[in-house]
Structure 1
Amino acid sequence: MPFGHDMACSLAAVADLINTAPETSSDGTDALVTLDDLEAYVRRHKVSGVAEVHPADLDQVRSLRSTFYSIFTSPGPAAAVDRVNLHLSRTRITARLTEHDGYPLHVHYFGPGASLVEHLAADCGVALAHLLVQGEWERLRTCTAPDCAKVFVDESRNRSRVYCDSRTCGNRMHVAAYRARRRT
């Protein structure tokens, strides 16, 4: 199922946010330690409506990623729904139509002047809610490579993606399988 631009961007942002945590890092390091790290994340995902990043944003965004991680790793769709509902109940959402940066009219779920964490909590939380409403919970995945714990959203047509990145984990696992076959 192809996702709309806003939803695809929000789902990519939430997966990337989760993957900055030590739990999902291959070497156990935290990739969201400094304000520079957070500013790089904001630039990478072109987070709109955020004039500047503040020191308080860093701790708040870091705690938000554990909330999103619990949704991605829910044991089933019912648990994911409960976790998204709990998250959304704590989120201030102000839906409004907007056009910016060359994108056509679309909906933002955060109000003008919202903090970075309010922006991410609302936009990413609503994207996850839409995914669940569409019955697409199984698209929230964790990489199946044995030494990788990164999360991703499977956007493949047949829901067959199993690795966070086909060029790294996927290629590494395929080469290992090929070498194992050659040994026998």
Structure 2
Amino acid sequence: MPFGHDMVHSLSTVVDLINTSPAADGEECLSDLGQLGELVERWQVSGVDELGPGDLAQVRALRDAFHRVFTAPDQAAAVIRLNTLLGETRMTPRLTEHDGHPVHVHYFAPGASVAEHLAADCGIALAHLLVEGEWERLRTCAAPDCDRVFFDESRNRSRVYCDSRTCGNRMHVAAYRARRRA
């Protein structure tokens, strides 16, 4: 199933957000407002004015909630977890056009915090993915020492590593060496 620009952008944003967790790489990548600001800038999170200390705690809590959706044991659990998250989020869907992007829908309410913004836009993208029966595209890396998550955009849903250049390459080299020893 081809995914639209907005959906891919929101899913990529939520993956990046989740992977800032110490559980992903062993290092907290959202340790201060500067790192949160970098994430906001990297993913062009619009409508965010000034970040405050409360924003950091809220985004970390949101990150954990999104991680629970990604790691749900089945689609039914993912739906319950996502409904809980969306039920706590103020939303005001509206069409917008900014930063050179074509007309698209934003779901966050006017004046929303960065956490509410991410919860609304990324949560709706996850909801659409679940509605389309594509829950299995939300994955955790298959490398034994990696807990990073990713969104499998491959046509045949065959991606198993968060990054083919790091985890994928490392696992393929290990398998090759094991075959050579055998």
Contact 1:24 1:149 in 2 (8 A): yes
Letter of the aligned partner of 2:136 in structure 1? E
Return the TM-score normalized by structure 2: 0.98
Aligned counterparts of 1:54 and 1:108: Cα–Cα separation in 2: 22
TM superposition shift of 1:109: 0.2
TM superposition shift of 1:183: 1.4
TM superposition shift of 1:86: 0.9
> Is structure 2 residue 153 aligned with structure 1 residue 164?
no
Contact 1:15 1:152 in 2 (8 A): yes
TM superposition shift of 1:113: 2.1
> Is structure 2 residue 181 aligned with structure 1 residue 183?
yes
Could you tell me which runs of 5 or more consecutive residues in structure 2 were left unpaired when the two chains were aligned: none
Partner of 2:3: 3
Partner of 1:19: 19
TM superposition shift of 1:51: 2.0
Superposition CA RMSD, Å: 0.8
Partner of 1:105: 103
Aligned counterparts of 1:154 and 1:145: Cα–Cα separation in 2: 15
Aligned counterparts of 1:111 and 1:63: Cα–Cα separation in 2: 19
Letter of the aligned partner of 2:165 in structure 1? R
Return the TM-score normalized by structure 1: 0.97
TM superposition shift of 1:20: 0.7
TM superposition shift of 1:111: 2.2
Sequence identity (%): 69
**Post-superposition CA distance 1:97-116 (Å, at most 9, x none):** 00001111110001222110
Aligned counterparts of 2:49 and 2:9: Cα–Cα separation in 1: 19
> Is structure 2 residue 172 aligned with structure 1 residue 174?
yes
Letter of the aligned partner of 1:182 in structure 2? R
Aligned counterparts of 1:86 and 1:130: Cα–Cα separation in 2: 15
> Is structure 2 residue 53 aligned with structure 1 residue 33?
no
Which residue among 129, 132, 143 is the counterpart of 1:131? 129
What is the aligned residue count? 182
